[in-house]
Amino acid sequence: MRILYFLTLLSLLILVGCGGSTSSDNVTTSDNTTAIVSNAEYRIVATGQTECYDTDGNVIDCPQAGESLYGQDAQFIKNEFSFNDLGNGLVQDLNTGLIWQQSPTSQTFTWENVVNYCNSLTLGGYDDWRVPSAKELFSLSNFSEGWPYIDTKYFELASGNITKDEQYWTSNYYVGTTVEGGEDAAFGVNFVTGHIKAYSAKATGPIGEKYVRCVRGNAYGNNNFIDNLDGTITDNATSLMWSQTDFGPFDWEEALQFAYDSNYAGYTDWRLPAL
């Protein structure tokens, strides 16, 4: 099953662009894509999408600038996935620098217990493993093909099967209230369905306990936001500029067009953000 498109309805639209940045630029290529050239310290990894779609989920030729449905994720060339199998059960992400546990244990944990597992893990001669953040774990998500949304040439699934229960904890606690977790929930990533979701942090058994893929290395994904005092926010870590204002609601086609037509804060290179 192939991923069709990320957004069908945006209740709140935030624009992203590179306007005003000194460390990134957009270069339009001959095949109607835009290369996002960046020297950012926080390298955002591509989603893996390489095809354009219509609103029924059919693959189409990527639209020209200004045409309906222009501005899809496949039309922006970003940092492609790049992994190195280090052997001994280790895989390094050459974009983020993180080293990952290649074959997670089939054991499941509550969120409160998963930290102890990673902290006590010795693998490949290293003992400095930890639970990944949501940004770190989601950076492995590859939306090029479909279930599972992770490159199985490098990473094994904990269950060994393509099942919607392939859910992994992150280190991020959920601030707020959820249906499943109440006021005590934490974020997880499902590499089969592609979701980020908040799960109960204390529930036990098959419903509550999740898998974990431990990681080691310097923290990835720290933002450095600067208020430009013109309705925009620049993230110096990624070299991206964001609209401070939310827009919408729009359906997906309307949102793509709105971003392309926007001259918000005097900039004209706005687009919809990828996941």
Q: What is the pTM of this model?
A: 0.83
Quick one: average pLDDT of 268-274? 92
pLDDT tens across 49-107, in order? 899 999 999 999 999 999 999 999 999 877 889 999 999 999 999 999 999 999 999 99
pLDDT tens across 34-43, in order? 333 345 678 8
pLDDT tens across 208-261, in order? 899 999 999 999 999 999 999 999 999 999 999 999 999 999 999 999 999 999
| Reported confidence tier of residue 11, pLDDT bands at 50, 70, 90 | very low
Cβ-based neighbours of 179, under 8 Å, separated by 6 or more = none
12 has pLDDT over 50: no
pLDDT of residue 175: 85
| Reported confidence tier of residue 207, pLDDT bands at 50, 70, 90 | confident
148 has pLDDT over 90: yes
Tell me the C-alpha distance between 141 and 194, whole Å. Answer: 7
- Within 10 Å of residue 133's Cβ, how many Cβ atoms? 18
Quick one: average pLDDT of 126-133? 98
pLDDT of residue 182: 65
Mean pLDDT of the chain: 85
pLDDT of residue 188: 95
pLDDT of residue 14: 63
pLDDT of residue 120: 97
Determine if the peptide bond prior to 249 is cis (ω within 30°): yes
pLDDT of residue 38: 45
Q: 112 or 137, which is more confident?
A: 137
pLDDT of residue 203: 85
Cβ-based neighbours of 104, under 8 Å, separated by 6 or more = 156, 157, 158, 168, 211, 212, 213, 214
Cβ-based neighbours of 70, under 8 Å, separated by 6 or more = 62, 63, 64, 256, 257, 260
Exposure string for 171-201, b = 16+ CB within 10 A, e = fewer: bbebeeebeebeeebbbbbbbbebebebbbb
| Reported confidence tier of residue 30, pLDDT bands at 50, 70, 90 | very low
